[in-house]
């Protein structure tokens, strides 16, 4: 059957992911082949020292992204998109979306990038004997309580962004277990919020006299493949402004970008791992057993089906790198040279391969915001060099590529060296790996292990949530997600594996020694640069 007929028949799955700088929608057939893509670029704002997106921007961005996809289908296939087999919604993990009982927003949406929850995260970590990162929803909620914010007493629903959008489309207050693991600790045996920790949290906040307890305001947890509701008539009208999209389409549980990254890289089974590198960078390894102790640098989360997973999550990834590329784009325009943005990235990334293994003595920090792994709660951007550093274009780009992996490497070193976690393959995906052989080579150097990049790597989490939507309607009875992906999706997808270069490994280690030593400079910059 040709693609046009597949779309007409609705034998498809649609994934929409609200990322940090882009909302992306991917329509696939049930074998995972991409049929159409929609894009909407956006950016968060720093408002009253809070990294946020307004509700109007969220709603507009979602609709514009779907419109982009719908128009692509009409252009490429001459088909008006009406029927879709299943839909999945994904978004940035963690954060804090607060609504009252009537569904009205009562506090600014706080993204994963915010690090204004140190006291809450510290107290909850000590109470639970379980690491609660600053960006987790539980930390945000408790910090709002500690700060005496008035809206807390009016809470009717608290969720992540993906669960909020899912409710808008279906009316269901549910969340995938992977995204829920960025809200509150999950019990691997029950795939629900850890009952003992829930009890401790409720006892902790009891003196404040709220009318709600934790599970009253948090979404219900589902695992991949479970029924997460259907697109309502109101949801269809909300998503598709033309009114052509039909109600009744099943949705899979909404997931965070960590869960969709695992899915998009076939890294949902124990001993598999992946690194998602973009605006933020995170590395995840699916575990065979729990870690030996609690580490503040490591998040304990879950795959979409509930396997425990250790995550090294860096708030800062390629934002500063992108800014430098933009600067060179401005310079090209100044010279009246027309250059495509994609070509600019490719040339600058490729040129970095000619840099020194240790970046010629350059050091950079792309800290737009605070960094949980290095325990720095505010962001300052820095490029540092000595008089005898080799300040070349290749080294400049290389140091920004290296530092995009710097913080996440600290967490990976804990997992691979201290905990001796076993991993059989590491797969990279995201924009960092789009230029062939560059980001992949540097990640292999950072982890000193082979790194695979699939041909689908640039499709990212939107493709991952589309696969989860396809799994929701097309799985066989008792078919596990890891088997579904391995045998029915990735068997036909090729990729390339790159071994670490010993010179790169040595150079990256030298860079990391400077990176760790230079954190004192970053902390001083926070104290001094308060303008």
Could you read off the pLDDT of 205-237 as tens digits, one per residue? 999 999 999 999 999 999 999 999 999 999 999
**508 occurs within a structural domain:** yes
CA distance 225 to 230: 14
Could you read off the pLDDT of 89-108 as tens digits, one per residue? 999 988 999 999 999 999 99
What are residue 210's DSSP bridge partners? none
Could you read off the pLDDT of 125-169 as tens digits, one per residue? 999 999 999 999 999 999 999 999 999 999 999 999 999 999 999
Q: What is the average pLDDT value for the chain, to the nearest integer?
A: 94
Range of the domain at 333: 319-403+503-528
**178 occurs within a structural domain:** no
Whether 117 and 134 have beta carbons less than 8 Å apart is answered as yes
How many domains, the chain? 1
Using DSSP's 3-state secondary structure scheme, residue 480 falls into coil
**380 occurs within a structural domain:** yes
> Which two three-digit tokens encode residue 238?
């909300």
Could you read off the pLDDT of 390-440 as tens digits, one per residue? 999 999 999 999 999 999 999 999 999 999 998 888 999 888 898 989 999
**372 occurs within a structural domain:** yes
**351 occurs within a structural domain:** yes
Return the number of other C-beta atoms located less than 10 Å from residue 69's C-beta: 25
**390 occurs within a structural domain:** yes
Could you read off the pLDDT of 2-38 as tens digits, one per residue? 999 999 999 999 999 999 889 999 999 999 999 999 9
User: pTM for this one?
Assistant: 0.86
- Phi, psi dihedral angles at 301 (to 5 degrees): -125, -160
Q: Please give the pLDDT value at position 20.
A: 87
Q: Please give the pLDDT value at position 431.
A: 81
> Would you report the helix, strand and coil content of the chain in percent, each value rounded to 5?
45, 20, 40
**371 occurs within a structural domain:** yes
**306 occurs within a structural domain:** no
Q: Which range among 257-266, 350-359, 383-392 shows the weakest confidence by mean pLDDT?
A: 257-266
CA distance 439 to 76: 32
């Amino acid at each position: 059957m040709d693609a046009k007929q597949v779309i007409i028949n609705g034998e498809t799955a649609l994934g929409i992911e609200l990322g940090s700088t882009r909302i992306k929608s991917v329509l696939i057939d049930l074998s995972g082949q991409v049929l159409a893509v929609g894009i909407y670029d956006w950016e968060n704002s720093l408002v009253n020292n809070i990294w946020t997106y307004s509700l109007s921007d969220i709603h507009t961005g979602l609709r514009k992204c779907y419109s982009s996809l719908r128009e692509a289908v009409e252009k490429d296939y001459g088909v008006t998109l009406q029927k879709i087999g299943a839909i999945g919604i994904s978004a940035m993990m963690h954060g804090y979306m607060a609504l009252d009982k009537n569904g009205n927003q009562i506090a600014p949406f706080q993204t994963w990038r915010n690090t204004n929850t140190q006291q809450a995260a510290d107290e909850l970590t000590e109470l639970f004997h379980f690491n609660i990162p600053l960006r987790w929803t539980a930390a945000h909620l408790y910090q709002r309580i500690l700060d005496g914010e008035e809206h807390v007493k009016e809470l009717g629903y608290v969720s992540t962004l993906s669960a909020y959008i899912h409710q808008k489309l279906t009316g269901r207050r549910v969340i995938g277990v992977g995204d829920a693991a960025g809200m509150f600790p999950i019990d691997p045996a029950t795939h629900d919020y850890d009952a003992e920790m829930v009890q401790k949290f409720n006892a902790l906040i009891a003196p404040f006299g709220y009318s709600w307890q934790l599970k009253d305001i948090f979404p219900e947890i589902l695992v991949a493949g479970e029924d997460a509701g259907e697109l309502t008539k109101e949801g269809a009208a909300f998503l598709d402004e033309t009114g052509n999209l039909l109600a009744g389409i099943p949705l899979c549980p909404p997931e965070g970008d960590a869960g969709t990254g695992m899915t998009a890289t076939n890294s949902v089974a124990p001993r598999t791992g992946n690194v998602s590198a973009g605006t933020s960078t995170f590395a995840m390894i699916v575990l065979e057993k729990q870690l030996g102790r609690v580490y503040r640098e490591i998040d304990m989360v879950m795959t979409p089906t509930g396997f425990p997973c250790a995550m090294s999550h860096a708030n800062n990834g390629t934002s500063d790198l992108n800014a430098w590329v933009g600067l060179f784009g401005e310079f090209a325009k100044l010279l009246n040279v027309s250059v495509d943005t994609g070509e600019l990235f490719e040339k600058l990334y490729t040129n970095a391969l000619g840099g020194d293994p240790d970046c010629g003595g350059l050091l950079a920090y792309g800290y737009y915001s605070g960094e949980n792994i290095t325990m720095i709660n505010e962001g300052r951007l820095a490029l540092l060099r000595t008089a005898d550093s080799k300040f070349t274009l290749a080294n400049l780009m290389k140091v920004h590529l290296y530092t995009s992996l710097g913080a996440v490497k600290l967490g990976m070193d804990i997992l691979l060296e201290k905990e001796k976690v076993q991993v059989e393959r590491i797969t990279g995906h995201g924009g960092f790996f789009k230029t062939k052989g560059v980001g992949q080579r540097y990640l292999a150097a950072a982890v000193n292990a082979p790194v695979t990049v699939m041909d689908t790597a640039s499709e990212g989490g939107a493709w991952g949530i589309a696969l989860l939507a396809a799994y929701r309607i097309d799985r066989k009875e008792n078919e596990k997600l890891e088997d579904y992906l391995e045998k029915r999706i990735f068997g036909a997808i090729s990729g390339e594996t790159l071994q670490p270069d010993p010179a790169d490994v040595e150079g990256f280690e030298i860079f990391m020694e400077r990176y760790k030593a230079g954190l004192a400079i970053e902390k001083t910059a926070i104290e001094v640069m308060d303008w």
